[in-house]
């Protein structure tokens, strides 16, 4: 496709106004003839510039404490990078890791063919370029005019469940006049209106913020209250490693009769503790999933836990591990009968990236939702229906920057 035709097809006037003068790419075209079909189009584009910026996301409410951390605030300011090509295409995404480290890599990207950096079959080709991993996926989708999930092999995406990951210890706020359990129910009602039919409840108040017995009592009361108020919704619980195995089993005994979709990080992972929990879950026929791998993940050890059937769901962060590395990991998870649900807390961008990973590869039991609005990014193309997140049929990740960046 000629450069002017590509720009016209994309209808990106901003990008077209910043293009460099036309060049001859005859040699590049000839050298790309032995590439797979999609890679030929990627080979026609060279990285012309890498621009760093920030975008602001806004939560609909203050997000409070969990078992380990204090207030989480009203939404993040995120580092992003935008990759532009000499043919007028642009892809952008969250920056993986620090801007300082990514800036050092820019000289090695400029002038490189996109096909030398990225393959539709595997993703980012060099581990050192993982800081730009998600942006390269977006760029490839823009060049090929396909959603990322289609690049992963699925024209009609797998659609899966979608949970609210924003229900923290807001019953404890404000400190001078705590709102109590009613605040949690109000937040669940708001999230129900967004379209969620799964709620992940943070538990472990007794680890740091309340006396142990009082904290456990409140965890139990919150769980029972949400289950009673929303009988058509599924409940997930997340202890953020704030329990001992014995104390967590006491919690499960106290909420007997309430079905949990999953149990997340009740304690720091160990063979002994997960053997104890698995035995209890089996004996009580609780039919719940055990999920871990978010906090300081040791992938080799986690793999052992999955192979021993002590865990069911791999949670490692979508950006922390990297989109390409998740693509590599997914077939291995399938082999061991392990499901996926990449951690996405903090950023709705990560939620939406996960929707494409799940959409293209499946094997994802649910997606973490982080309800947000933004004046910097158009987030409206993603829809929620019947408690499931549906990615848009738009090129790349389908999120348009609303702010002008250099």
pLDDT digits (tens, 9 = 90+) for 65-92: 999 999 999 999 999 999 999 999 999 9
C-alpha to C-alpha distance for 209 and 353, rounded to whole angstroms: 33
* Residues 96, 131 contacting (CB under 8 angstroms): yes
Among the residue ranges 1-15, 277-291, 375-389, the one predicted with the least confidence is 1-15
Q: What's the CATH fold of domain 3-145?
A: Enolase-like; domain 1 (3.30.390)
Place of tokens 């649900």: 341
Q: Which token pair is 251?
A: 């919690």
- CB atoms near residue 300 (< 10 Å): 7
Q: Which token pair is 103?
A: 């800036």
pLDDT one-digit tens code per residue, 242-265:
999 999 999 999 999 999 999 999
Burial of 153 (0-12, 13-18, 19+ CB in 10 A): exposed
The pLDDT-based confidence of 377 (bands split at 50, 70, 90) is very high
Residue 106 makes CB contacts below 8 A (sequence gap 6+) with 50
The pLDDT-based confidence of 11 (bands split at 50, 70, 90) is very low
Q: Which token pair is 282?
A: 């089996």
pLDDT(193) > 90: yes
C-alpha to C-alpha distance for 280 and 278, rounded to whole angstroms: 5
* Residues 10, 141 contacting (CB under 8 angstroms): no
Place of tokens 């924003």: 166
The pLDDT-based confidence of 363 (bands split at 50, 70, 90) is very high
* Residues pairing with 124 in the sheet: 118
pLDDT(212) > 60: yes
Q: Which token pair is 96?
A: 């993986």
Domain 160-401 has CATH 3.20.20.120: yes
User: Tell me, what DSSP letter sits at residue 129?
Assistant: G
> Which helix (DSSP H) or strand (DSSP E) does residue 106 occupy?
helix 99-109
pLDDT one-digit tens code per residue, 315-360:
999 999 999 999 999 999 999 999 999 999 999 999 999 999 999 9
Among the residue ranges 161-170, 290-299, 391-400, the one predicted with the least confidence is 290-299
For the chain, what are the domain ranges? 3-145, 160-401
* Residues 202, 390 contacting (CB under 8 angstroms): no
* Residues 110, 50 contacting (CB under 8 angstroms): yes
The pLDDT-based confidence of 95 (bands split at 50, 70, 90) is very high
CA quadruple 18, 21, 27, 29: dihedral, nearest 10: 40
Task: Map residue 110 onto helix, strand or coil.
Answer: coil
C-alpha to C-alpha distance for 403 and 406, rounded to whole angstroms: 10
pLDDT(32) > 80: no
pLDDT(158) > 90: yes
> Which helix (DSSP H) or strand (DSSP E) does residue 5 occupy?
helix 3-10
Alpha helices in 110-205 (DSSP H): 114-117, 133-144, 148-151, 181-194
User: Do the domains at 3-145 and 160-401 have one common CATH topology?
Assistant: no
C-alpha to C-alpha distance for 234 and 232, rounded to whole angstroms: 7
Q: Provide the pLDDT for residue 296.
A: 86
Cis peptide before 12 (omega within 30 of 0): no
Separation in Å, CA 379 to CA 66, 81, 347? 27, 17, 12
Q: Helix axis angle, 323-335 relative to 348-361, nearest 10°? A: 50
Q: What is the mean pLDDT of the chain?
A: 92
pLDDT(27) > 70: no
Q: Provide the pLDDT for residue 406.
A: 79
């Amino acid at each position: 496709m000629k450069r002017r035709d590509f720009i016209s097809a994309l209808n990106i006037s901003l990008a077209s106004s910043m293009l460099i003068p036309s060049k001859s790419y005859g040699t590049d075209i000839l050298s790309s003839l032995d590439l797979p079909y999609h890679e030929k189009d990627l080979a026609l584009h060279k990285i012309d510039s890498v621009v760093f910026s920030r975008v602001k996301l806004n939560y609909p409410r203050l997000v409070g404490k969990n078992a380990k951390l204090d207030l989480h605030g009203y939404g993040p300011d995120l580092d992003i990078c935008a990759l532009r090509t000499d043919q007028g295409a642009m892809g952008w995404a969250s920056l993986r890791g620090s801007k300082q480290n990514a800036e050092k890599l820019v000289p090695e990207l400029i002038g490189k063919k996109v096909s030398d950096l990225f393959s539709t079959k595997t993703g980012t080709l060099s581990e050192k370029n993982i800081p730009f991993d998600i942006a390269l996926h977006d760029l490839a989708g823009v060049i090929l005019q396909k959603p990322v999930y289609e690049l992963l092999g699925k024209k009609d995406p797998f659609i899966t469940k979608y949970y609210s990951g924003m229900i923290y210890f807001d019953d404890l706020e404000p400190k001078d006049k705590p709102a109590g359990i009613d605040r949690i129910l109000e937040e669940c009602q708001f999230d129900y209106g967004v379209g969620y039919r799964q709620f992940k409840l943070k538990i472990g108040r007794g680890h740091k913020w309340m006396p142990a017995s009082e904290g456990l009592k409140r965890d139990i009361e919150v769980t029972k209250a949400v289950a009673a108020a929303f009988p058509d919704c599924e409940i997930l619980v997340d202890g953020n490693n704030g329990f001992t195995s014995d104390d967590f089993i006491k919690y499960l005994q106290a909420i007997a009769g309430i079905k949990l979709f999953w149990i997340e990080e009740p304690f720091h992972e160990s063979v002994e503790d997960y053997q104890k929990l698995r035995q209890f879950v089996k004996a009580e026929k609780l039919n719940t999933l055990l999920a871990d791998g978010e906090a300081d993940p040791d992938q080799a050890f986690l793999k052992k836990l999955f192979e021993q059937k002590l865990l069911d769901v791999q949670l490692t962060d979508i950006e922390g591990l990297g989109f390409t590395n998740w693509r590599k990991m997914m077939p291995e998870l399938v082999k061991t009968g392990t499901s996926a649900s990449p951690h996405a807390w903090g950023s709705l961008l990560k939620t939406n990236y996960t929707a494409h990973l799940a959409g293209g590869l499946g094997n994802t039991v649910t997606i973490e939702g982080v309800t947000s609005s933004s004046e910097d990014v158009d987030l409206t193309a993603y829809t929620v229906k019947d408690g499931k997140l549906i990615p848009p049929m738009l090129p790349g990740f389908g999120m348009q920057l609303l702010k002008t960046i250099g």
